[in-house]
Amino acid sequence: MKYIILSLAVFLSACSTTVPVKQKFPDAPKELFEKCPNLNIIEPGKTAITDLLKTVVSNYALYYECSIKQEGWTDWYGEQKKNFDKANEK
């Protein structure tokens, strides 16, 4: 029995193989990590419609800036996934 175990161990040792290759998870650009800022509010005491309009315009701009970042994340994920899949296909 011990000869069988020994011979099995010897023969199976030829099958042991470690693959020392690791794929690093890509780092996303730091620009995408910036948080979307809070929207602006109209300062107390300002009652002109132009102040209201200016605040609304700057809030629209903040929305679109945030939307650009979100789009950036979507593009980043899509492109990196394509790249990852390409590297891993056989």
4 binds another protein (CB under 8 A): no
Question: How far apart (Å, rounded) are the C-alpha atoms in residues 90 and 87?
Answer: 8
CA distance 79 to 32: 15
Number of residues interacting with another protein: please give it, by CB under 8 A: 54
Tell me how far apart the alpha carbons of residues 65 and 56 are, in angstroms, rounded to a whole number.
Answer: 14
Residue 3 binds another protein, judged by CB under 8 A: no
| Residue from the set 3, 5, 11, 35 that interacts with another protein by CB under 8 A | 11
Which stretches within the chain are classed as H helix? 2-13, 49-88
Q: Which of 1, 9, 33, 35 lies at the binding interface for another protein (CB under 8 A)?
A: 9
DSSP category for residue 28 = P
Residue numbers at the binding site for another protein (CB under 8 A): 9-17, 19-21, 23-24, 26-29, 31-32, 38-42, 46-61, 64-65, 68-69, 72, 75-76, 79-80, 83-84, 86-87
